[in-house]
Amino acid sequence: MSTKMHPILKPAQAMVLAAGLGKRMRPMTDKMPKPLVPVAGKPMLDHVLDRLGDAGFDRVVVNNHYLGEMISAHVAKRDFPLVVNSAEAELLETGGGVQNALPLLDDTAILVANADMYWTEGREPLFERMMDAFDAEHMDALLAIVPVEGAFGYDGAGDFFWQVDGRLKRRGSAPRAPYVFTGIQILNPRLFEGLLPGNFSLNVIYDRALESGRCYGLVHDGRWFHIGTPDALADAERTLAGQ
């Protein structure tokens, strides 16, 4: 159990997305779900759960699908935080996965994080910064972003422009955008209202928040590692070892 418990400054519960197939990480993921692939000495999923515990979350929902029994068995061995499994008989993608778990979550705000990534903290822990910054009066979504230039292992064209008032704008038809989404966010569950259950991306949710002018960004001031392939994992490990 963490000995450093930070108060939760905004009403929120947490969910970790751990149901993906991890196809690009093969052959490592032929017999292991990607969230259990170790980085910096422990599975990526444990890094996320440990940081949620440090931020004050004592109960976290984790979804699973591909090799889901391994996810369930792994989190059952943990002492803290308490993990509630949300098993998916069929892969629901990110949006469908969160929607499926809503009955297990808070109805005010949900912190959602991907289980298959790694980051280092900046001046303050990222989860605490996110909770401090989330303003339910003006925001329906707050996405943690990083500059494309500093995103380790990322070679895409970027996802968002970060505007002067903190709102996000999609890259759209622009050749490049300066920021990439980290996979960490706080969402208002009302963004899911009226959506039929099923398989869909969280991009549907972001579009709703963007259209209403209630989608904001927070720039992470630590390092973020995009670990999509075994080669990228090896590069990340070498970089972290040299820090």
Quick one: 13-241 is in which CATH superfamily? Spore Coat Polysaccharide Biosynthesis Protein SpsA; Chain A (3.90.550.10)
> pLDDT grade, residue 243 (50/70/90)?
low
What is the distance of C-alpha 68 from the center of its chain? 18
pTM of the complete model: 0.92
| Beta-strand relationship, 82-87 and 110-114 | unpaired
d(CA 167, CA 173): 18
d(CA 190, CA 188): 5
**What are the residues whose beta carbons fall under 8 Å from the beta carbon of 5, sequence distance 6 or more?**
53, 54, 56
Tens of pLDDT, residue by residue over 21-62, are 888 889 988 999 999 999 999 999 999 999 999 998 989 999
Residue ranges of the domains in the chain?
13-241
Question: Which of 188, 196, 236 is CA-nearest to residue 214?
Answer: 188
Q: Is the pLDDT of residue 186 over 50?
A: yes
Quick one: pLDDT at residue 8? 46
Q: How does pLDDT run across 125-176, given as a tens digit for each residue?
A: 999 999 999 999 999 999 999 999 989 988 899 999 999 999 999 999 999 9
> What's residue 116's pLDDT?
86
Q: Is the pLDDT of residue 214 over 70?
A: yes
